[in-house]
Amino acid sequence: MNKLKCAVIGVGYLGKFHAQKYAALPDCELVAVVDSNPDQARTIAEQNHTRALVDYRELLGRVDAVSIVTPTTLHFEVARDFLAHGAHVLVEKPITVTVEEADELIRIAEEKNLRLMVGHLERFNAALLGLDLTHDKPLFIESHRLAPFNPRANDVSVVLDLMIHDIDIILDIVDCEVQHIDAKGVTVLTSDTDIANARITFKNGCVANVTASRASLKVERKMRMFMPNCYVSVDFQNRILARYRKGEKEMFPGVPEILSEESSFENGDALMEEIKHFVACIRESREPLCSGGAGRRALATAIEITELLSA
């Protein structure tokens, strides 16, 4: 099997980990890392025994696949150029700044039969992968994603930084058109929204109440789903999946007992699993778990919420 020639564009905090994963995969060759900071590019290149570049255009037509881990404002230009030159693209979330840009990337990828994947890393959380909703569809979903302030991600609002993870997962689980959205938010530490809440109503009647904060003193990443006969809790932070269901006995007269089961998952490498999935989709010519279309859907909903917060 020929090795895939891969590169990482943007090797800051997150991009350097992308470089490490490609360098560790036996069926990939990390041919270069690119960063506008030449010292950073050189450091990461030396750590992974590859070339350092400051201009990604030197790689156009010379690689099979890339991870794009630049600021969001550069996603469209860089992804468009690589797709146009025949490279498969894994772009970090959000896919682009606008829905129109996302549509253009999807169009090019489809036209050239290339894989376009969006890095919604939480899709590869072991607790979520252990969830089986084949026979149960949620009627109500509640999610909380709380984090301390991180200056590294203040180029976008809390909706596009944190909430979009849960938006993506919820849209995939419910798999139904959104009917209505209400949203409220406040600024705390930046000039943009730092705490936001959105209530998403779907056409099938499901309601999702989604909260995200980047001004919290603790880290919490939880989602709770309520079905007619059971309730499921996904703790992304601690990788715990809990399921509660009605039993045949009674807890009180007329009130059924609640039976519970809990599964804990080891601290796996979600980013490695994500990149392995990307590579497998390239090898097998199949649609990624979080495709360009899924990334576009999450972006469109996040933008609608953001506009409501600004109204």
CATH code of the domain containing 66: 3.40.50.720
* 152 and 248 fall within a common domain: yes
Classify residue 100: in a domain, yes or no: yes
Residue 128 lies in a domain: yes
Q: Is residue 73 part of a domain?
A: yes
Q: Do residue 172 and residue 89 come from a single domain?
A: no
- Average pLDDT on 239-258 reads 87
Q: Is residue 108 part of a domain?
A: yes
Quote the CA–CA distance of 306 and 162 in Å, as a whole number.
12
Q: Is residue 273 part of a domain?
A: no
- pLDDT of the residue at 258: 86
Would you state the pLDDT for residue 268? 86
Residue 191 confidence (pLDDT): 81
One domain for residues 306 and 161:
yes
Residues 249-277: pLDDT tens digits? 888 888 888 888 999 998 889 999 999 99
What phi and psi, each to the nearest 5 degrees, are found at residue 152?
A: -65, -25
% of the chain with per-residue pLDDT over 70? 98
Position 278 confidence tier, pLDDT thresholds 50, 70, 90: very high
Considering the domain architecture, whether residues 106 and 229 belong to the same structural domain is answered as: no
Q: How many domains does the chain have?
A: 2
* Cα angle: 91, vertex 94, 99; to 5 degrees: 105
Domain end, chosen from 60, 88, 114, is at: 114
- Do both 255 and 165 map to the same domain? yes
Task: Looking at the structure, tell me whether residues 105 and 37 fall in a common domain.
Answer: yes
Distance from the Cα of residue 127 to its chain's centroid: 15
Q: What is the pLDDT of residue 63?
A: 98
What's the domain range around 40?
A: 4-114
Give the alpha-carbon dihedral of 167, 169, 173, 174, to 10 degrees.
0
Helices (H), the chain: 15-24, 38-47, 72-84, 99-111, 126-129, 158, 164-174, 270-284, 292-310
Give the separation between CA 54 and CA 41, rounded to whole angstroms. 7
List, in order, residues 6 or more apart from 125 with CB less than 8 Å away: 234, 236, 239, 270
- Name the domain boundary from 114, 143, 162: 114
Q: What is the DSSP letter of 3?
A: P
> In 3D, which of 310, 299, 298 has the Cα closest to residue 184?
310
Q: Check whether residue 76 and residue 143 sit in a common domain.
A: no
pLDDT for res 154: 64
What is the per-residue pLDDT across 141-169, written as a single tens digit (0 to 9) for each? 999 999 998 876 666 789 998 999 999 99
* Whole-angstrom distance, CA of residue 14 vs CA of residue 152: 10
* pLDDT band (50, 70, 90) for residue 32: very high
* Whether 190 and 108 share a structural domain: no
Within 10 angstroms of residue 280's Cβ, the number of other Cβ atoms is 13
Which CATH number belongs to the domain containing residue 183 in this structure?
3.30.360.10
Give the pLDDT of residue 151: 75
Q: DSSP label at 139?
A: S
On whether residue 145 sits in a domain, the answer given is: yes
Pair (169, 200) in one structural domain:
yes
Residue at a domain's end among 62, 90, 114 = 114
How crowded is residue 239: how many other Cβ atoms within 10 Å of its Cβ?
A: 20
The reply to whether 189 and 247 lie within a common domain is: yes
Give the count of beta carbons closer than 10 Å to the beta carbon of residue 172.
Answer: 16
Residue 184 maps to a domain:
yes
Does 249 lie in the same domain as 131? yes
Distance separating alpha carbons of residues 49 and 303, to the nearest angstrom: 40
Q: How far apart, in Å, do the first and last CA atoms of the chain sit? A: 54
> Which pTM value belongs to this model?
0.93
Q: Classify residue 164: in a domain, yes or no.
A: yes
Q: Do 108 and 143 have their domain in common?
A: no
Higher pLDDT, 84 or 156: 84
Please identify which residue in the block is written with the tokens 């909706």. Answer: 159
